[in-house]
């Protein structure tokens, strides 16, 4: 029952983020958000779900049907599987693995390939450009995402996410690993294609990028997977750098929820505050700035631990 409860909790939380994002963006931009359907617009999520599920589930005749259908399923499944190794609280989690961090990185990479397949299978120039952009971001930002976490692994001495949380009893890793934390947050934004790094689906340039040809349930899977990705990166940020469930007075699961919610709000605020860069600027920033910073952080952390 535990895996099913966590799965339903993640999907429900991700669905609630649709409403929360619209309300927060409206607040920060001094305008109305959803406020017509239900109290405080809470039923807007239900209305959107009904709309998506009742739309025609169309496959373009010029698309590669098998890959076209597989792509959104791959993105959704890998996003949900990543939560299998996330420790919510002591005794609450799907599975405790001594290679949990490596499993998360593997699932993140697999999810990016789902976007690439969607761009290729759609047989559309806009979708293909979105898929190519996603592949370039994968090669660039996955490289220093792994490097940004090496400092955490060195300090904790384990790839097990539960052990990493317990290693932060004295001090959260954000203090000695502030550089690693910042680079992980940037890489996480790029991995889940959130503003300002949503170049694979930039509507001003590519219509909707890799999911231009998708509709109905398949589009809904991409849509929900994005918010599941936000929840995943937020939860991992809390676990890896902010002590996970550790905290005084309140129950552990409450601390985990509060820390995760803080990062979710932070990612939404970035969407309201930052412009989208050009694609060449995004690539240059990754290779010329973030990769050297990640390598320097790893070198300094290793030197301090060994000294």
pLDDT per position in the chain (307 positions), as tens?
Answer: 667 777 788 878 887 888 888 888 888 888 888 888 878 888 888 888 888 778 777 777 787 778 888 888 888 888 888 888 888 888 777 777 788 888 888 888 787 788 788 877 877 777 777 777 777 777 777 778 888 888 899 988 888 889 999 998 888 999 989 999 999 998 888 877 777 777 766 666 666 667 777 777 887 888 888 888 888 899 999 999 998 888 888 898 899 999 999 999 888 888 878 777 787 888 888 888 888 898 998 899 888 888 7
For the chain, the average pLDDT equals 83
Residue 27 lies in a domain: no
* CA proximity to 239, closest of 259, 224, 217, 220: 259
Residue 44 lies in a domain: no
CA distance 255 to 253: 5
Residue 50 lies in a domain: no
pLDDT tens digit sequence for 222-235: 888 888 888 889 99
Would you say residue 229 lies in a domain? yes
- The closest of 178, 175, 192, 197 to 294, measured between CA atoms, is 178
- Residue 258's pLDDT is what? 92
The predicted pLDDT at position 205 comes to: 63
CB contact at 8 A, 115 and 261: no
pLDDT at 239: 92
For residue 218, with 0-12 CB atoms within 10 Å meaning exposed, 13-18 middle and 19 or more buried, which class applies?
Answer: buried
What are the residues facing 92 on neighbouring strands?
89
Query: Is the residue at 49 inside a domain?
Result: no
pTM here?
0.89
Left, alpha or beta for 214 (phi > 0: left; psi -120 to 50: alpha)?
A: beta
Q: How far is C-alpha 150 from the chain's CA centre?
A: 19
Say how far apart CA 107 and CA 251 lie, in whole Å.
30
Range of the domain at 156: 56-306
Q: By C-alpha distance, which of 101, 92, 80 is closest to 228?
A: 80
Task: Quote the number of domains for the chain.
Answer: 1
| End-to-end Cα, the chain, rounded Å | 47
Please tell me the predicted confidence (pLDDT) of residue 178.
92
258 is a domain residue: yes
CA distance 8 to 82: 14
Within a domain: 9? no
Q: Has residue 154 been placed in a domain?
A: yes
């Amino acid at each position: 029952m535990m895996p099913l409860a966590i799965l339903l909790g993640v999907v429900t939380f991700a669905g609630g983020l649709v409403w929360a994002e619209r309300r927060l963006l409206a607040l920060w931009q001094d305008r109305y958000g959803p406020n017509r359907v239900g109290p405080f617009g809470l039923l807007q999520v239900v209305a959107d779900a009904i709309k998506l599920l009742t739309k025609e589930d169309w496959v373009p005749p010029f698309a590669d049907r098998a890959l076209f259908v597989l792509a959104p399923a791959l993105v959704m499944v890998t996003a949900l599987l990543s939560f299998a190794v996330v420790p919510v609280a002591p005794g609450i989690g799907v599975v405790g693995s001594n290679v949990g961090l490596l499993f998360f990185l593997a699932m993140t990479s697999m999810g990016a390939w789902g976007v690439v397949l969607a761009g290729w299978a759609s047989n559309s120039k806009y979708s293909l450009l979105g898929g190519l952009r996603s592949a370039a971001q994968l090669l660039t930002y996955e490289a220093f995402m792994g490097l940004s976490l090496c400092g955490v692994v060195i300090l904790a001495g384990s790839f097990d996410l539960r052990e990493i949380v317990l290693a932060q009893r004295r001090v959260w890793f954000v203090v000695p690993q502030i550089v690693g934390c910042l680079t992980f947050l940037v890489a996480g934004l790029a991995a889940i294609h959130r503003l300002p790094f949503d170049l694979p689906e930039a509507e001003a340039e590519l219509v909707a990028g890799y999911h231009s040809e998708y509709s109905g349930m398949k589009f809904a899977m991409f849509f929900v997977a994005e918010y599941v990705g936000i929840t995943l990166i937020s939860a991992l940020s809390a676990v890896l750098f902010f002590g996970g469930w550790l905290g005084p007075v309140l129950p552990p699961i409450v601390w985990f929820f509060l820390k995760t919610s803080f990062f979710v709000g932070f990612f939404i605020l970035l969407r309201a505050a930052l412009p989208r860069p050009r694609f060449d600027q995004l690539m240059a920033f990754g290779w010329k700035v973030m990769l050297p910073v990640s390598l320097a952080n790893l070198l300094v952390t290793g030197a301090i631990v060994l000294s």
